[in-house]
Structure 1
Amino acid sequence: MTSPKTVLITGTSSGIGLAAAIGAARAGWTAIATMRDPGKAEALLEAADEAGVADRIQVKRLDVTDPESITACLDEVIAEHGRLDALVNNAGSAKTGTIELLGLDEVRAAMEVNFFGVVAMTRAALPHLRASRGRVITVSSVGGAVGQPFNEAYCAAKFAVEGFMQSLAPLAATVGVDVTVVEPGPVASEFVANQNLDIPALLNAAGPYAPALEAYFGLRRSVFEGAQTPAEAAAPIVDALTADRPPFRIQTSDWARNFVATTLADLDGSAVQALTKTWVR
């Protein structure tokens, strides 16, 4: 018998990562579902039981900002399964605020998780993926294509991710590794809620940016009313795992496709500026 293919997915305690782990297991993969705190795996394990795939889900501790944690996790995967066929870079954290109101330590922290964590995981996984002729799938965001007010740190990290992956993709292909980025739009998950934003306090501290921030929060509420479910956003990840030749860039919804199209056809940047200016006035 051929052993199941193995995929390591980061950030699986909730949201897209959880749904991707369940979807991959349903597709016949062994899903190594990683998270910083395995004590938060209850929701994932309950979902795996309900889906009948608990035997194909393995929870492991992994902190993408800790090189020793990355090495230990990958060493365990190879020792236990003998192979790694795909990496799904999903772990990340949101960061709302404009640069004058954020400390540089907050910006660096956002880059550490959302960008350097992706780079570190990809670098560590590539030798194993070359051996299996596997693939790297990275959850970016529409914020990796369209810069958004009050999301400078987050969008900067996602832009960096997309530049990194777009540069890596043709080179990785020469050694048999496919590279794909997945761009979700709004998703009804714990990702945004996990910021624990105190909106009145933020508005009180925003100074001259308060009117723009209030407008931004109003827009965000309306946009998230039509958000995708995590399962809907994760479905293209599973498609990219199983496709013979996955594309480099995949949006997870028509909304995301239309939004990203604004910047992909915007040679002088005026279309994006015209769009995002309406968010803050």
Structure 2
Amino acid sequence: MTFLVTGAAGGIGRAICETLSEQGHGVLGQDIVAGERVDADLVGDLCDARFLEKLGDRLTSTEVKAVVVGHGIAGAGRLEEMCVNQARRIMTINFESVIRLWDLSQRQLEATNGTFVVVISQAGLVGEAGNALYCASKFALSGWMRGVGATTKVRLRAINPGGIRTPLLEQALHDMAKARGITYEQFVETRYGTSPAGRIAEPAEVGDLVAIAIALKTPALVEAAITGGEVLW
């Protein structure tokens, strides 16, 4: 089977590609920048209509059985200091681009009894101080998937990670600490030092969960949280 993974140059996307490849699956990696796990002809913007047309042709020609959405951008910071253009960019990349990808792949996945996996975030389950716009984009994804789940034959999987050791999280934690007026070290200790797991998770742990989610035969929407107990859900 062949799977498409978006955001394949990032920490979580790359780990998902590696896990699926190790299990013997064919993997097509996409990202807006080139990377170790990104196919040379799949470097492009998921918000660009011309690239989406090209991606659609590739999905059909390779009979992709699962689409894994692993891309996204951070959105932490003091809400009053963030402009409308920043808000639009966060919502466009984290939410709208996923809908476009769904529209592109839905018919094929329905025909092949395929799976559509979205790596959302625990920020799509609970609000986080200093992270309002990011939460808004992830709550939108959670609500959208629950609505779509009631109308499609495609197996939907929503993965909600907590803190995962990636450059994206590092930047978000710095921005959230700044928004709260404390140091990065203080914020990390407050948030993760007292959580049940007592640590930040590794990208490979998300890769393992995604592989399990794809393998599940349950036809309905399945939602899973990997938060180290930080969010009890």
Give the structure-1-normalised TM-score: 0.73
1:230 to 2:203 alignment: yes
Count how many residue pairs are aligned between Structure 1 and Structure 2: 227
- Whether contact under 8 Å (2:67, 2:115) holds in the other structure is yes
1:102 to 2:82 alignment: yes
Q: Which runs of 4+ in 1 moved over 4 A?
A: 194-199
Corresponding position of 1:9: 5
Identify unmatched segments of 5+ residues in structure 1: 46-56, 204-209, 262-281
Counterparts in 2 of 1:241 and 1:198: CA distance versus 1, 3 Å: closer
Corresponding position of 2:108: 128
- Whether contact under 8 Å (1:15, 1:230) holds in the other structure is yes
Corresponding position of 1:166: 146
- Whether contact under 8 Å (1:25, 1:31) holds in the other structure is yes
Identify unmatched segments of 5+ residues in structure 2: 194-198
Shift of 1:135: 1.0
- AA aligned opposite 2:102: T
Corresponding position of 2:56: 74
Match of 2:28 among 25, 32, 48: 32
Corresponding position of 2:47: 65
Q: Distance in 2 between matches of 1:198 and 1:183?
A: 21
Corresponding position of 2:196: none
- Whether contact under 8 Å (2:164, 2:203) holds in the other structure is yes
Shift of 1:124: 0.8
- Whether contact under 8 Å (1:183, 1:250) holds in the other structure is yes
Q: What is the RMSD computed on CA atoms of the aligned residues?
A: 2.5
Corresponding position of 2:16: 20
**Structure 1 vs Structure 2: percent identity of aligned residues?**
23
- Whether contact under 8 Å (1:88, 1:136) holds in the other structure is yes
Q: How does 1:182-261 map to 2 (within 5 A)?
A: 182-193=159-170, 203=178, 212-214=180-182, 218-223=186-191, 226-245=199-218, 248-256=222-230, 259-261=231-233
Q: Comparing both chains, which one has the higher relative contact order based on Cα–Cα distances under 8 Å and sequence gaps of 6 or more?
A: 2
- Whether contact under 8 Å (1:187, 1:224) holds in the other structure is no
- Whether contact under 8 Å (1:134, 1:178) holds in the other structure is yes
